[in-house]
């Protein structure tokens, strides 16, 4: 995506051969680019959310394997890298998908061929993600265009949760791709950006993206969405996903389920932007089977931002020693999902719906 005239992806291999990322912990206040040069650095970057978002986590892990193959291409190193990177975050299926992809590709190869093949595959995974998200945008654009037509060309108000933007992927984003495509098609689109506690990916990242892309938006507290829907101010919701089951149950950032309940209660279409690597074909019951990451309590008891001295830091918002729970995701049952916007088109949130678009998986 273009930032001040420069085109960025959220991860790339630089001309000097190093892998660069945008360290998202410092956005929106500072755009910090860092190199990841060891398996440990890649693991830290995923675990501590320097990069986040299911597709980007997968792409980062793929490059993490490639960097490790330079250091040590042995079978043991390949196995240990799978383990070290896989244990960083348990919920986004793209992490396991990418690690399995790399392992399947590399293990049959001679050691001396592994690093080159790994970097080539990691680059392909990035390019595939960009194309997948572009197609999601095209399919999602038609949904927004139809709503605009029903409103006589009036403004289409979209609510989104967390950041499923280009910062959560390699480019375009998933939930934001239809929004960007609609804006570029000249449709009057407005976005309600859920701040998304506790890590505020909406306030810090989606608002930053909307600003830079010139998309009209309002930042809202997470608890305002139901009220806006009740008052007819939301035409549709589009969110991302970290893992969607073959039956269409959608695991996404904590709070998504509540938005889906409010959407159903108010007759607001609730769409999920779903790149196919995010489908876990092995899971049937999302609510009971998808592992939900529990993150540190201090993400709840503190909030990060720019301090009075201009530095970026954390402010405690609750009494010392306040205990907290911090489940990072929840699961929205398929029955609450209007449609799954995939790179192959819009599917019903059901086994039949996904099988119709992905017959090879059925």
Ligand X SMILES: CSC[C@H]1O[C@H](OP(=O)(O)O)[C@H](O)[C@@H]1O
Given the residues 242, 249, 280, 330, the one annotated as active site: 242
Q: How far is the CB of 116 from ligand X (least distance, A)?
A: 29
> Is residue 243 within 8 Å of 280, Cβ to Cβ?
yes
Q: Which residue in the set 240, 277, 339, 353 belongs to the binding site for ligand X (CB under 6 A)?
A: 240
Does 253 count as an annotated binding residue? yes
Footprint of ligand X on 113-152 (CB under 6 A): none
The reply to whether 22 sits near ligand X by the rule CB under 6 A is no
| Most distant pair of Cα atoms in the chain: their distance | 62
Does 150 count as an annotated binding residue? no
Question: What tokens does 40 get?
Answer: 């440990």
Candidate ranges 48-56, 71-79, 213-221, 300-308; the one touching ligand X (CB under 6 A): 48-56
Does 200 count as an annotated binding residue? no
Candidate ranges 46-54, 80-88, 138-146, 259-267; the one touching ligand X (CB under 6 A): 46-54
Does 52 count as an annotated binding residue? yes
CB nearer ligand X, residue 58 or residue 73: 58
The reply to whether 252 sits near ligand X by the rule CB under 6 A is yes
Return the SS3 of 207: helix
Q: Which residue in the set 300, 328, 336, 340 belongs to the binding site for ligand X (CB under 6 A)?
A: 328
Candidate ranges 113-121, 162-170, 177-185, 335-343; the one touching ligand X (CB under 6 A): 162-170
193-204 burial, b at 16+ Cβ within 10 Å, e below that, comes to: bbbbbbbbbbbb
Q: Treating both helix axes as pointing N-terminal to C-terminal, what angle do 111-150 and 176-184 enclose, rounded to 10 degrees?
A: 60
296-312 burial, b at 16+ Cβ within 10 Å, e below that, comes to: ebebbbbebeeeeeeee
How many residues bind to ligand X according to rule CB under 6 A? Answer: 16
242 has catalytic annotation: yes
CA pair distance 5, 166, nearest whole angstrom: 16
CA pair distance 285, 220, nearest whole angstrom: 32
Torsion over CA: 65, 25, 329, 353 (sign)? negative
Asked if the bond preceding 197 is cis, omega within 30° of 0, the reply is no
The reply to whether 55 sits near ligand X by the rule CB under 6 A is yes
Asked if the bond preceding 45 is cis, omega within 30° of 0, the reply is no
Rg over alpha carbons for the chain, rounded to the nearest Å, is: 20
Footprint of ligand X on 176-215 (CB under 6 A): 201
The reply to whether 168 sits near ligand X by the rule CB under 6 A is yes
Q: How far is the CB of 126 from ligand X (least distance, A)?
A: 14
Q: How far is the CB of 150 from ligand X (least distance, A)?
A: 27
CB atoms within 10 A of CB 355: 14
Q: How far is the CB of 135 from ligand X (least distance, A)?
A: 14
Q: Which residue in the set 11, 22, 46, 54 belongs to the binding site for ligand X (CB under 6 A)?
A: 54
Q: Which residue in the set 85, 141, 164, 274 belongs to the binding site for ligand X (CB under 6 A)?
A: 164
Does 9 count as an annotated binding residue? no
The reply to whether 96 sits near ligand X by the rule CB under 6 A is no
CB nearer ligand X, residue 55 or residue 90: 55
Q: How far is CA 144 from each of CA 125, 177, 261, 270, 348, rounded to the nearest angstrom?
A: 28, 11, 21, 12, 17
The reply to whether 162 sits near ligand X by the rule CB under 6 A is yes
Q: Which of 240, 261, 262, 78 is nearest to 168 (CA)?
A: 240
| Interface contacts to ligand X, rule CB under 6 A | 52-55, 162, 164, 168-169, 174, 201, 239-240, 242, 252-253, 328
Q: Which residues are catalytic?
A: 242
Per the annotation, binding residues for substrate are: 52-54, 89, 201, 252-253
């Amino acid at each position: 995506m273009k930032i001040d005239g420069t085109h960025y992806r959220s991860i790339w291999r630089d001309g000097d051969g190093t892998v660069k990322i945008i360290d998202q912990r410092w956005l929106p206040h500072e755009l910090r680019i860092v190199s990841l040069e060891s398996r440990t650095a890649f693991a830290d970057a995923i675990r501590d959310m320097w990069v986040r978002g299911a597709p980007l986590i997968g792409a980062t892990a793929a490059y993490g394997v490639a960097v490790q193959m330079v250091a040590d291409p042995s079978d043991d190193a390949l196995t240990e890298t799978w383990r070290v990177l896989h244990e960083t975050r348990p919920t986004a299926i793209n992490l396991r998908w990418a690690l399995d992809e790399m392992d399947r590709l590399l293990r049959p190869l001679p050691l001396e061929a592994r690093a080159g093949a790994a970097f080539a595959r990691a680059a392909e995974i990035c390019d595939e993600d960009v194309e997948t998200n572009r197609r999601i945008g095209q399919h999602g654009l038609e949904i927004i265009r139809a709503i605009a037509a029903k409103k006589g060309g009036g403004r289409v108000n979209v609510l989104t949760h967390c950041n499923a933007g280009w910062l959560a992927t390699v480019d375009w984003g998933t939930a934001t791709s239809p929004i960007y495509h609609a804006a570029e098609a000249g449709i009057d689109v407005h976005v309600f950006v859920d701040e998304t506690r506790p890590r505020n990916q909406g306030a810090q990242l989606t608002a930053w993206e909307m600003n830079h892309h010139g998309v009209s938006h309002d930042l809202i507290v997470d608890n305002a969405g139901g009220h806006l829907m009740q008052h007819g101010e939301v035409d549709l919701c589009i969110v991302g996903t970290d893992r969607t089951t073959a039956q269409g149950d959608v695991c996404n950032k904590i709070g998504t389920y509540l938005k889906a309940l409010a959407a159903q209660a108010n007759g607001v279409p609730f769409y999920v932007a779903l790149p196919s690597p995010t489908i876990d074909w092995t899971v049937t019951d999302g609510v009971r089977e998808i592992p939900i990451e529990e993150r540190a309590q201090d993400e709840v008891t503190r909030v990060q931002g720019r301090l009075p001295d201009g530095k970026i830091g954390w402010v405690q918002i609750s009494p010392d020693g306040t205990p907290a729970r911090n489940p990072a995701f929840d699961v929205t049952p398929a029955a609450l999902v209007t449609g799954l916007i995939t790179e192959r088109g819009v599917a019903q949130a059901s086994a039949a719906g996904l099988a119709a678009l992905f017959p090879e998986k059925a």
